[in-house]
């Protein structure tokens, strides 16, 4: 339902950007899993505003408090509520929004849907809503690690504006991505990207890009053959993040220019006896189910809607007006989107892991 | 769950390619909606094998029988079961599959997941599984038409292999798309595409492409701001179709090379007093909710995995082998994917329509 | 949702009493479970009309056809559709219903809810709707038997009208219950009950009663502590059967006259080392979770609403009228309710079994 | 799922008795409904420990904080989180529980299910868990009042131990029920009941009883004909409350001794033109759907498991022991159960109201 994601590992988020707080209930987490709050805080810090000079300067500690579901550092099987209080909410920045619809924001559509709107900070459409997702994703990470220590999910900026990383997702390293504030997988190039973003911001403008995401160590057999295909659930997960416009898995849109004879992934048996594919155009899924190869995804993010330039718009009553954003914002959302993408990938994976566990035949 | 789609207009499909039959239960359909079985059959016929020379020649009438939920041509509010019996199931074509894994098919992943497999025809991964979706989509079409006579969903082949249509989705016409067997939106070019597909088939190969889909006449206010964003549910819907590798809405992956100042859609008031946007990079959704502009989607389909050329593979026990497909199949799945895409779009729309109706404030 | 039951072992039923057929889709059944269609037919035959002189004489073979989800006698993990065609549908018996509301039937409430109604045979409110449940329950039985061969679910008539069985549920035997057409747990008394029912019918009247149900061999740990308590799901399951008016577990309404010191079930360790309770007022559940003792339930069924005596009612337009049932019916629904109760109990159990499996910590 | 209730008006609770706090997320609440936090607090106060001399003396203000989903006193359509912090948590009272299983508590079953347990205060099985339900029920009350000002839900103690109220539920008054601390519907008799409870407590014992609940002003047409019958969802709702052992609607278990000719509710047209029934053995539901008559329910609560007398039990390792409760507790849970029953009834009603709204044909 609207604010719930997942079927067995079920996450429900709440909270507005400028309300009392933001958070999440995780229901269905298996018991007896050790959970470190530091690990949750680590991912929240990666997503946090003000973490570097290239992201929004809103000052929020984003300190997580676990209100329930834990006993002496372990999950109990009870719902886990994680709460982050808001502190630096500046409603005054958002006065104008009450009257004018910000282009490519959700102001107008909220009014159409609900007939009412928390004018401050975009309500549920704010990137702050993703705090709950990232916190839940950090729990999912620890659950997955408990059962599959080899499984790793790494997201990174694969393209910003017209600059592509051309990194090989199969070898990208978390430490290299995290070594630079732009989360560029080739650290030596990071300064160029930082400069690009700063230039765009100085022009009162914004840019988007593509987040790449690789999952290594997924066992074969997760997913479903029809509606809940692994790639379908991943697509939904990613397209539910703010500012996303596209999703692809494996060869993605590039598959279109290939012939079947090129695109098909031949099977072979590895030295260790495992059945593998020589290529991975499938992106780790076949018929909606993981085949044990790396999951490879790419997610397109549009340029941030909030820009400092004047733009044409209308008021609630339909009168023409010009609007210029004054709220703090990111000129490029990509670096902060990286932990969000990882979190969503993990929420999909842990859910399908539990689903498979329920019907496991081995 | 695995074989159910939708929250209020809830569709559950069943059936295998070479079993007794294929079908669907639609639960949650509002009562007193006139439903024409001819209209259901019309869409099933568009999806049917053997409908033209460029698609698989399997002979199936795909005749729909409505077993429940109707009274004198109207829905009763009870679940609607639609059943299509299989007739031309040739198990012999599929003997080899028991032993060898077809590359980029679901044989290996099914074995990994279930430890058992209906070897004939790919079981649930066959395109025949989409019969239930198309039948349900045809019911959704009639429900939507009852409440929103202006709403129309049109899908079409926007690209096949390296050939793009460059059609303007805002003006594409259903009649023109349906006037040619390749469902190309520019009918005058259809012969070229037919030739392309025939050439590929004669080479024992296959191609993919991009299906475009436009929805006109959606009111503002459908969708949800967080997990069940309209674009997220559409992405899941499309990525749950066989052979899909990518999804984009509005500017999609193209948004990446735009600045915010170009990408944002300025608001204005139309002559009729409606609030509209000058451009539609958003693709009809803002913050996960429809804004009344056309929904614009593109879905990438990989080249058909079944090809007549020899390919490297392994047997269940891991021994190297060569495999060459003998089952009937499509060299290009796109023309038959068009009604599937429309059906999935409608299933998402009718569900969000009912969801909005439940909380409507007007 | 309306016609779906269960979370992981998910059952969706369809069909009307006098339509083309009745059936069910079972989604989420684990793969590689041997399923005998004879075992399904066995339970359908127990539920069937015309099986003995004391139940409705409608002639239906109720022959089950499995349309999907099986391969060589084993489940494949795909959805299982089971279909039963209707044969002896006599619409003429139901003409009067179009005009007059039958007292304590669903005619009036259907009109209020849907504004339309399948007048023949009560649509979804007919006892024929339970065919899908019983078929699904028979599959659940085989799944449970695969994993828990000791688990047995036995229902029986514990009271008919004013006659109580006073049987000890802990020792009641399936063979004794099934040895007589009234499904009385003390076979030697069955003739009395048959006579009672025949007398009531000869008077154009009807009676209700209480179905008892015991489940032996449930492991400790199934259920949930809050909303999805095992007894809550069992209560919903039973109260969703036609004609039910009450549910109790363990001491039930009788607990009210006990003190805590009498009612509490003391723990002890059995000779085999198992932790057990000396009494079982809890009825096998504590805090919503099974404790390994027998589950003990009782379900109240009202007297059949269809009676041959004249009754006061109104027409759709509100005019006073007298109505006298002419359709075939049961003077006492209890004997045929027994397999329905068992089916619903098993659907709850198999679902909670799979749920527990997903989070199992052992 | 485990901690979620409802399909469209969806309530997820969290929190343990002796953790940081307890609360609820309400998802799917329609927008633009005025909500008074005082009204929420009013119901929380009715449920609160320490509210009178006959209930547990734990000191908790149970002050509700709304963290999200509201704007200037109105719902926004976003999820509403309500949080109540714990204050008077005395873990020392519960030390013994770590080692010994309290009879008829959930200690043993939690260990069986989860292999871990928040030993203090019974974790999720504490009556404190119902704070989230009562808070959500108070929101549901205000939503229902917004659309159906006449609808009223009144619960009351209908029986305590062997003392019956014999009140007519059709005329019972909220003010009279609330006028006395035992929530007895005949205020003049309240002192007798208070004395009864005090006597039982002085003996270190406990008693249960029956809570009656009437709903007046429900329109005809709410509910579903099959699994989600209104009475089935009400049964689940009530049987999910701690300490419940039985549920009945309308004639309930009493129906068993009636003939169909007595039990059927004849229809007539009232002076105002409304179709009504002369009797109400159906308890306001026919075929799972409300018929516009009063909903009449009775719920059996067992005697409180926590008693001050010594009882036989075992330790986690199975050794025999005697246990005597030291935690604060209620000798009779009934007076505090009354607002819980009302809350659960409203959660079911508001959900079915929204479900009916989604498919409404009028």
Q: What is the CA radius of gyration of chain D?
A: 21
C-alpha pair distances (Å), D113 with each of B323, C39, D48, D348 = 49, 31, 29, 28
C-alpha pair distances (Å), B175 with each of A17, B170, B184, D25 = 47, 14, 11, 48
CA–CA distance, B235 with A318 (Å, rounded to integer) = 32
Determine the pLDDT at residue D328. 67
| Proportion of chain C above pLDDT 90, given as a percent | 85
> Does any CB of chain B come closer than 8 Å to the CB of residue C171?
no
Q: How confident is the model at residue A328 (pLDDT cuts 50, 70, 90)?
A: low
Residues from chain C contacting residue B71 (CB–CB below 8 Å): 116-119
A197-204: list long-range contacts, CB under 8 Å, 24+ apart: A197/A54, A197/A160, A197/A331, A197/A332, A198/A53, A198/A54, A198/A331, A200/A161, A200/A331, A200/A332, A200/B259, A201/A54, A201/A331, A204/A307, A204/A308, A204/A309, A204/B261
What's the pLDDT tens digit per position in C42-52?
999 999 888 88
Determine the pLDDT at residue C43. 97
Q: How confident is the model at residue D49 (pLDDT cuts 50, 70, 90)?
A: confident
CB contact under 8 A, D357 and B355: no
Which chain A residue has the Cα nearest residue C28?
Answer: A359
Residues from chain B contacting residue C10 (CB–CB below 8 Å): 1, 4
CB contact under 8 A, C12 and B79: yes
Determine the pLDDT at residue B161. 98
Mean pLDDT, all residues of chain D: 93
- Element of type H or E holding C245: strand C244-249
User: C-contacting residues of A 3-42, CB under 8 Å?
Assistant: 8, 28-32
Determine the pLDDT at residue B58. 75
Q: How confident is the model at residue A121 (pLDDT cuts 50, 70, 90)?
A: low
CA D354 to chain C, closest CA, distance in angstroms equals 13
Find the CB nearest A318 among B103, B205, B273: B273
> Does any CB of chain B come closer than 8 Å to the CB of residue C1?
yes
CA C356 to chain A, closest CA, distance in angstroms equals 8
> Which of A62, A61, A52, A58 lies closest to A82 in space, CA to CA?
A62
- Element of type H or E holding C4: strand C4-5
Residue A122 or residue A71, greater confidence = A71
Indicate the DSSP class of residue A18: T
Find the CB nearest A30 among C225, C354, C359: C359
Which chain B residue has the Cα nearest residue C7?
Answer: B1
C81 and B14 Cβ atoms separated by less than 8 Å: yes
Token reading at C172: 């009641």
Rounded (10°) CA dihedral B218, B223, B225, B230: -90
Write down the H helix ranges in chain A. Answer: 37-47, 95-99, 107-114, 130-147, 174-178, 190-202, 230-239, 260-263, 334-359
CA–CA distance, A43 with D64 (Å, rounded to integer) = 30
Interface-testing mutation among B22, B115, B161, B236, with chain A (most A C-beta atoms within 10 A): B236
CB contact under 8 A, A358 and C8: yes
CA–CA distance, D183 with D155 (Å, rounded to integer) = 9
CB contact under 8 A, A359 and C225: no
Determine the pLDDT at residue C118. 73
Q: How confident is the model at residue C119 (pLDDT cuts 50, 70, 90)?
A: low
C360 and C219 Cβ atoms separated by less than 8 Å: no
CA–CA distance, A242 with B286 (Å, rounded to integer) = 10
CB contact under 8 A, B8 and D358: yes
> Does any CB of chain B come closer than 8 Å to the CB of residue C114?
yes
Quick one: average pLDDT of B281-302?
98
Token reading at A68: 């329930």
Positive or negative torsion for Cα D288, D289, D293, D296 = positive
Q: How confident is the model at residue B93 (pLDDT cuts 50, 70, 90)?
A: low
H, E, C per residue of chain D: CCCEECCCCEEEEEECCCCCEEEEEEECCCCCCECCHHHHHHHHHHHCCCCCCCCCCCCCCCCEEECCCEECCEECCCCEEEEEECCCCCHHHHHHHHHECCCCCCHHHHHHHHCCCCCHHHHHHCHHHHHHHHHHHHHHHHHHHHHCCCCEEEEEEEEECCEECCCCCCCCCHHHHHCCCCCCCCHHHHHHHHHHHHHHHHCCCCECEEEEEEEECCCCCCECCCCCCHHHHHHHHHHCCCCEEEEEECCHHHHHHCEHHHHCCCEEECCCCCEEECCCCCCCEECCEECCCCEEEEEEECCCCCCCCCEEEEECCCCEEEECCCCCCCCECHHHHHHHHHHHHHHHHHHHHHHHHHHCCC
Find the CB nearest C232 among D236, D269, D287: D236
| Proportion of chain A above pLDDT 90, given as a percent | 85
Find the CB nearest A2 among B123, B228, B237: B228
Q: How confident is the model at residue B125 (pLDDT cuts 50, 70, 90)?
A: confident
Distance of CA C357 to the CA centre of its chain: 25
Residues from chain D contacting residue A19 (CB–CB below 8 Å): 67-68
- D268 CB-side CA count, 13 A: 10
Dihedral pair phi/psi, residue C10, rounded to 5°: -110, 125
Residues from chain C contacting residue D219 (CB–CB below 8 Å): 112
Interface-testing mutation among D359, D360, D361, D362, with chain B (most B C-beta atoms within 10 A): D359
Quick one: average pLDDT of D265-285?
97
CA B221 to chain D, closest CA, distance in angstroms equals 12
Residue A328: count of CB within 10 angstroms of its CB: 17
Residue C36: count of CB within 10 angstroms of its CB: 12
CB contact under 8 A, D68 and A28: no
All domains of chain D in start order, with CATH? 4-359 (3.60.150.10)
User: C-contacting residues of D 64-93, CB under 8 Å?
Assistant: none
C-alpha pair distances (Å), B7 with each of A1, A344, B14, D8 = 8, 21, 18, 9
Burial zone of B136 (CB within 10 Å; 0-12 exposed, 13-18 middle, 19+ buried): buried
pLDDT score of B126 more than 90: no
CA D19 to chain B, closest CA, distance in angstroms equals 29
> Which of D78, D308, D131, D124 lies closest to D206 in space, CA to CA?
D308
What's the pLDDT tens digit per position in A33-65?
999 999 999 999 999 888 888 877 778 889 999
B329 and B361 Cβ atoms separated by less than 8 Å: no
Dihedral pair phi/psi, residue B191, rounded to 5°: -60, -40
Quick one: average pLDDT of C225-254?
98
Determine the pLDDT at residue D135. 98
Q: How confident is the model at residue B119 (pLDDT cuts 50, 70, 90)?
A: low
Quick one: average pLDDT of B189-209?
96
C194 and C332 Cβ atoms separated by less than 8 Å: no
CA–CA distance, C211 with C152 (Å, rounded to integer) = 16
CA A344 to chain B, closest CA, distance in angstroms equals 10
Determine the pLDDT at residue B169. 98
Quick one: average pLDDT of A223-234?
97
> Which of B103, B135, B109 lies closest to B124 in space, CA to CA?
B109
Determine the pLDDT at residue D34. 98
Residues from chain C contacting residue A29 (CB–CB below 8 Å): 359
Indicate the DSSP class of residue B124: G
Q: Give the 3-state secondary structure of residue A5.
A: strand
CA–CA distance, D319 with A118 (Å, rounded to integer) = 59
**Neighbours of B (≥3 Cβ pairs closer than 8 A)?**
A, C, D
CA D302 to chain C, closest CA, distance in angstroms equals 5
Find the CB nearest B361 among D32, D225, D358: D32
Quick one: average pLDDT of A253-277?
97
CB contact under 8 A, B83 and C83: yes
What's the pLDDT tens digit per position in A155-188?
999 999 999 999 999 999 999 999 999 999 999 9
pLDDT score of D152 more than 70: yes
Find the CB nearest A76 among D4, D68, D117: D117
Determine the pLDDT at residue A89. 64
Q: How confident is the model at residue C125 (pLDDT cuts 50, 70, 90)?
A: confident
Quick one: average pLDDT of B48-77?
88
Query: Which residues sit opposite A105 in a β-bridge?
Result: none
What's the pLDDT tens digit per position in D156-177?
999 999 999 999 999 999 999 9
What's the pLDDT tens digit per position in D4-29?
999 999 999 999 987 889 999 999 99
CA–CA distance, B155 with D337 (Å, rounded to integer) = 56
What's the pLDDT tens digit per position in D78-97?
999 999 998 876 655 556 66
pLDDT score of D312 more than 90: yes
> Does any CB of chain C come closer than 8 Å to the CB of residue D148?
no
pLDDT score of B265 more than 80: yes
Burial D312-323 (b: 16+ CB within 10 A, else e): bbbbeeeeebeb
Residues from chain B contacting residue A286 (CB–CB below 8 Å): 104-106, 108-109
In this structure, of A204-213, A303-312, B89-98, D332-341, the range with the lowest mean pLDDT score is: B89-98
CB contact under 8 A, C245 and D255: yes
pLDDT score of C122 more than 70: no
In this structure, of A16-25, C226-235, D167-176, the range with the lowest mean pLDDT score is: A16-25
CA B78 to chain D, closest CA, distance in angstroms equals 9
Determine the pLDDT at residue D23. 97
Token reading at D89: 């948590």
Name every residue whose Cβ is closer than 8 Å to that of residue A57 and which is 6 or more positions away in sequence. A49, A50, A328
Quick one: average pLDDT of A9-34?
95
Q: How confident is the model at residue B163 (pLDDT cuts 50, 70, 90)?
A: very high
Residues from chain C contacting residue D101 (CB–CB below 8 Å): 267, 275
Quick one: average pLDDT of C136-148?
98
Q: Give the CA diameter of chain B.
A: 70
B307 and B200 Cβ atoms separated by less than 8 Å: no
Burial zone of D92 (CB within 10 Å; 0-12 exposed, 13-18 middle, 19+ buried): exposed
Residues from chain C contacting residue D287 (CB–CB below 8 Å): 105-106, 109-110, 122, 125, 242
CB contact under 8 A, B78 and C124: yes
Find the CB nearest D12 among A12, A77, A124: A12
CA–CA distance, D235 with C1 (Å, rounded to integer) = 16
**Neighbours of C (≥3 Cβ pairs closer than 8 A)?**
A, B, D
pLDDT score of C325 more than 80: no
Residue B277 or residue B51, greater confidence = B277
Determine the pLDDT at residue D362. 86
> Does any CB of chain B come closer than 8 Å to the CB of residue D1?
no
């Amino acid at each position: 339902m609207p604010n719930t994601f997942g079927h067995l590992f079920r996450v429900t988020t709440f909270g507005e950007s400028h309300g009392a707080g933001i958070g999440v209930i995780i229901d269905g987490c298996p018991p007896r899993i050790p959970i470190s709050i530091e690990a949750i805080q680590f991912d929240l810090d990666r997503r946090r505003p003000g973490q570097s000079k290239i992201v929004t300067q809103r000052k929020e500690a984003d300190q997580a408090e676990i209100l329930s579901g834990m006993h002496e550092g372990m999950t109990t099987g009870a719902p886990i509520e994680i709460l982050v209080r808001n502190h630096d909410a500046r409603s005054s920045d958002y006065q104008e929004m009450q009257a004018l619809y910000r282009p490519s924001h959700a102001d107008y559509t909220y009014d159409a849907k609900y007939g009412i709107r928390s004018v401050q900070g975009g309500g549920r459409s704010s990137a702050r809503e993703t705090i709950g997702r990232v916190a839940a994703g950090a729990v999912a990470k620890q659950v997955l690690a408990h059962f599959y220590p080899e499984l790793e999910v790494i997201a990174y900026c694969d393209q910003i504006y017209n600059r592509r990383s051309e990194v090989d997702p199969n070898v990208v390293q978390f430490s290299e991505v995290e070594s630079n504030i732009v989360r560029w997988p080739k650290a030596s190039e990071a300064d160029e990207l930082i400069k690009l973003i700063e230039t765009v911001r100085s022009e009162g403008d914004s840019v988007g890009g593509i987040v790449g995401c690789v999952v290594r160590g997924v066992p074969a057999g997760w997913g479903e053959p029809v509606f809940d295909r692994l790639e379908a659930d991943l697509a939904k997960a990613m397209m539910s993040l703010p500012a996303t416009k596209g999703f692809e898995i494996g060869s993605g849109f590039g598959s279109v220019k290939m012939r079947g004879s090129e695109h098909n992934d031949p099977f072979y048996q590895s030295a260790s006896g495992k059945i593998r594919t020589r290529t991975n155009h499938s992106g780790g899924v076949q018929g909606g189910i993981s085949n044990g190869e790396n999951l490879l995804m790419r997610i397109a993010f549009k340029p941030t809607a909030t820009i400092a330039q004047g733009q044409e718009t209308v008021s609630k009553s339909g009168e023409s007006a010009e609007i210029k954003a004054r709220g703090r914002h990111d000129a490029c959302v990509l670096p902060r989107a990286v932990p969000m993408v990882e979190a969503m990938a993990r929420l999909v994976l842990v859910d399908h892991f539990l689903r498979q566990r329920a019907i496991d035949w081995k």
